[in-house]
Structure 1
């Protein structure tokens, strides 16, 4: 609902810091800032409680995506590079944000990713500088080391299941020359191994449990849910607070020190635009008065496109056949009830492979998510015969898109155009990725399982045909970043201290500030950005 000029706005009081968004970064920020009991913090979350079983049972991600209580239910615009297909674009709608519906994979990316951020003019963001921030929040299953901590709040555990067929795929990857990796998170993730996950004894460990539960006992933190931000309050070039709506109406809260936007790569640019901050052409379409021109707001959207190749197999069990009968399903449920293990403890992907799509790549540029199951799409039933999904994604795409508000009504979903496969380079990597998956499954070590390519389907091997097939099977892996990127160029939205260029009293701390997407999953980097933001806010006041 858009604000009416005659609608009363109630005073919600004053806090030192107002945080918008209780996702991965916002939860960390709320925890760290309220450790000083003299600093008052208001955390505003548009979604609700995460007390739903599909949030906490790991396999529940299959049912959380698209659930109207748990997911905002966004869709992309038709994507030209995907033959005009529109994709679902899940975003968490509860405390913990996307950490409550994501794949639970803990992956930092590569050291070079962060050194590249630093070299783009963002001092303080190199690998050696962000590694202590990753360690600060981490409670790792292994021993204390230079790369890992066992003292933090975010649990990182080994998966509580093994599928023999995945062990065989790992052996096939090594037969191709891909080394075994004992640790994907030491700065170079090239190799094959099982993904570490954010779980505690087979139960999802989201940002709410890790960071908000310890902090919400403090008297200086207030959390409001079901509170949809309408806009930032500005006095000239200073952000003085936030206007938000809940079930009781409109409220204005004053921020004595600053406001920190942690609404994510889709929510943050929308809030900026509804506040009159962004591209003038977009603001004119919204009929929102221009308060501050920033041409990069909503631009530079980057995401990982996964190509979900599927191979039927023989002579090995997969979830397809194990969950086919009522007895099989009952056994799965009993195993989880008694041991918190088995298929119900599964993260969406178990086996990971980071490697190079062609020998000319200087470092790993593709990531596999190998799953002992197959289905047509999330939310669809499993196939009835044994099969593997061998997904491959381009870690560093060169295609960029955008996300913009479409209405002054904050409740209207924004337009999202990821613009996948828009560049020749991305189409070439897509073609090479399908070839790579075929070579993996054709390794002699897997011959006894008689793999047969089901999707996209064996056939032509030329670049044009494979790029067309990639357009047919490609789908998001839910890693949007970059829509309010930090930097020093004319399209940058924040500086290296996360301050919004040209404004006072407002920072951004979420994946929208990434100048380039990381070479891996995005939850761990979002937590790190929250840690960095906390340091910056505390240093400022």
Structure 2
């Protein structure tokens, strides 16, 4: 590779994802401060991927596309039938907020209070609520739980499929209570999700926070630029080494380097920089610059299974003689009024449910999809049906991220270690049975035509457990690999500073000590908001 001269900035933010876009915006509001944002993927302002990203249903073109997705995967492991499990992460402006299901769920109050109780000052729910509110414009209207002037537009869905009304009726028959706002006073219950959309289009972190900051002359964005490692001068981060095409060059930071590359790539970068456990670095002949045994450890994700049911053609989307007409009309509905199936996030309603009344927070997350789960080779499934996802919200299994090699171009090794804790399997068995009870309610019985997956032959506890192991997935919410805390395995402190180093922070979902109850995008944006304050107030 050819070499290029160094560029110097006050702050370097690595990763233009959910937290990184917020940081780039907030830090660059001060005219005298120079900010550099480095993103491995392309801009989303081109026709492609822009058209797919803006169109909510375009997720089916994004979720498995290596042009805009890192295409990570969890390694095959015995606890999950030795099968690889996809771990998609966005590689484009907006990061995973550009390719996700757009569900806006913050989690349960107790999630954050637990972080604070573990010694992370300022990370309890009451202290964090203003950061959620700062980022948000809640389109349904004023609410004590929501913000009105932020860049992230949070809206009701415009064109819910008919299955949602049936699910709501079935939820009432199950004895659950209806919840019109999972981010309000109480999270438990069933209802339709609020989504990060504006005028029927996706509102990614790039659209919400990066676009408004682009005209500022003190913000520089490097796209399609891969960060190789953090450069250290003794115990201080002084910049990063990056490559763009066939050039490799250095970006220097006068004040701080902030890693916002996500739960997979942030620990990878620390390890490539010689920051981490000695044994892991020695495996790849990387000189250790700083011992930090927790780097890459504590990996968690919401482990998930999907049951599928054949339904009549009016319930959801699919390919059939009767179903072709609504699909054919969808582009015209979308172009004319931003309504119809193309506004669907494909996972429209759900529920958060306690297994026991004494549980501090819901233990199960349920998602209803208005189609059979897509196969990789087919955008729209043949025939009509629905998919019912159920996931364990507070897994006890822990995995890790390791290096495959010392080459920054190589994807890291991701070991989920899913179902290694017996409680997680037990929770999913309970969730499996709950989904079957839901499908057997009068509301669903009159619309469904039989269970396709796994089918009635899977009925005993042993059969259910084996099927779960063989069909396990996740809801694409990896967190925890640069854990915040003060114990020996913590990577950052409650100011998000990497323990034992100066001028280096991590600010993304990797700092979460434990998973939140629900989707992680809202929490990642909140982390960006809080990190911006920590950086500005402590410098």
TM-score (norm 2): 0.96
Q: How does 1:104-253 map to 2 (within 5 A)?
A: 104-186=102-184, 188-253=186-251
Number of the residue aligned with 1:317: 315
Look up the match of 2:30.
36
Q: Which residue of 2 aligns with 1:508?
A: 506
Match of 2:77 in 1: 79
1:115 is paired with a residue whose SS is helix
Write the distance in 2 (CA, Å) between the matches of 1:349 and 1:476.
14
Query: Do 2:313 and 2:322's aligned partners in 1 also have CA atoms closer than 8 Å?
Result: no
Do the aligned residues in 2 keep the contact of 1:456 with 1:473 (CA within 8 Å)?
no
Confirm whether residue 18 of structure 1 aligns to residue 16 of structure 2. no
Match of 2:58 among 54, 57, 60: 60
Deviates more, 1:120-129 or 1:187-196: 187-196
Per the TM alignment, residue 81 of structure 1 is displaced from its structure 2 partner at its CA by 2.2
Q: What's the offset of the Cα at 1:158?
A: 0.7
Question: Match for 2:468 among 457, 467, 470?
Answer: 470
Deviation at 1:126, TM superposition (A): 0.1
In the alignment, the residues of structure 1 paired with residue 320 and residue 535 of structure 2 have an alpha-carbon distance, to the nearest angstrom, of: 51
> Residue 149 and residue 332 in structure 1: after superposition, are their counterparts in 2 closer, same or farther (change >3 A)?
same
* 2:311 and 2:386 in contact (8 A); partners too: yes
- 8 Å Cα contact 2:200-2:338 kept in structure 1: yes
TM-superposed CA distance for 1:462, in Å, is 3.8
| Aligned equivalents of 2:52, 2:376: Cα separation in 1 | 14
Matching residue of 1:4? none
Contact 1:303 1:481 in 2 (8 A): yes
Q: Find the aligned partners of 2:148 and 2:299 in 1 and give their Cα distance.
A: 34
Could you tell me how far apart the structure 1 residues matched to 2:95 and 2:229 are? 20
| C-alpha contact 1:322 1:329 (8 A) present in aligned 2 | no
Q: 1:335-383 CA distances to partner (integer Å, 9 max, x unpaired)?
A: 1121211111100200111112455634311111101100353553443
| Secondary structure, aligned partner of 1:353 | strand
Instruction: Judge conservation of contact 1:357–1:365 (CA < 8 Å) in 2.
Output: yes
Asked if the contact 1:171/1:445 (under 8 Å) is kept, the reply is: yes
SS class of match (2:339): coil
CA distance in 1, matches of 2:11, 2:182: 35
Q: Tell me how large the CA RMSD over aligned residues is.
A: 1.6
Per-residue deviation, 1:451: 4.4
Give the C-alpha shift of residue 328 in structure 1: 4.0
Contact (CA 8 Å) 2:313, 2:323: kept in 1 or not? no
CA distance in 1, matches of 2:61, 2:111: 33
Change (3 A) 1:13 1:162: closer
- Match among 334, 352, 355 for residue 354 of structure 1: 352
Do the aligned partners of 2:394 and 2:517 also contact (CA within 8 Å) in 1?
Answer: yes
The 8 Å contact of residues 228 and 241 in structure 2, kept in 1 or not, is answered as: yes
Distance 1:36 1:123 in 2: 26
Per-residue deviation, residues 188-222 of structure 1 (Å, max 9, x unmatched): 31111111111111111111111011111111100
- Matched residue SS, 1:334: helix
Distance 1:450 1:540, change over 3 A: closer
Distance 1:262 1:379, change over 3 A: farther
Identify the residue that residue 423 of structure 1 maps to in structure 2.
421
Which residue is 2:292 aligned to? 294
Whole-angstrom CA distance in 2 between matches of 1:198 and 1:376 = 22
Corresponding residue for residue 389 of structure 1: 387
Deviates more, 1:531-540 or 1:79-88: 79-88
Greater shift in the superposed pair: 311-320 or 516-525: 311-320
Single out whichever of 302-311 and 247-256 deviates more from structure 2.
Answer: 247-256
Q: Which residues in structure 2 correspond to 1:272-291 (within 5 Å)?
A: 272-291=270-289
Q: Contact 1:140/1:150 (CA < 8 Å) preserved in 2?
A: yes
Question: For the structure 1 residues 181 and 379, does the alpha-carbon distance in structure 2 shift closer, same or farther, using more than 3 Å as the test?
Answer: farther
Using the TM superposition, name which of 91-100 and 306-315 deviates more. 306-315
- Hey, what does 1:3 align to over in structure 2? none
Q: By how many angstroms is 1:91 displaced?
A: 1.0
Preserved CA contact (<8 Å) 2:52 2:59: yes
**Residue number among 527, 532, 535 corresponding to 1:529 in the alignment:** 527
Contact 1:49 1:95 in 2 (8 A): yes
Question: Do the aligned partners of residues 323 and 152 (structure 1) sit closer, same or farther apart at CA in structure 2, a change above 3 Å counting?
Answer: farther
Give 5+ residue unaligned stretches, structure 2: none
What's the secondary structure of 1:78's corresponding residue? Answer: coil
> CA offsets, 1:228-264, max 9 Å, x none?
1111110111111111111251111211111100000
Match for residue 444 of structure 1?
A: 442
Q: For each residue in 1:246-292, what CA deviation from the matched residue of structure 2 results, as whole angstroms up to 9, or x when unmatched?
A: 12511112111111000000000110001000011110111110000
Describe the SS at the equivalent of 1:209: helix
Distance in 1 separating the partners of 2:443 and 2:516: 32
Quick check: 1:371 aligned with 2:365? no
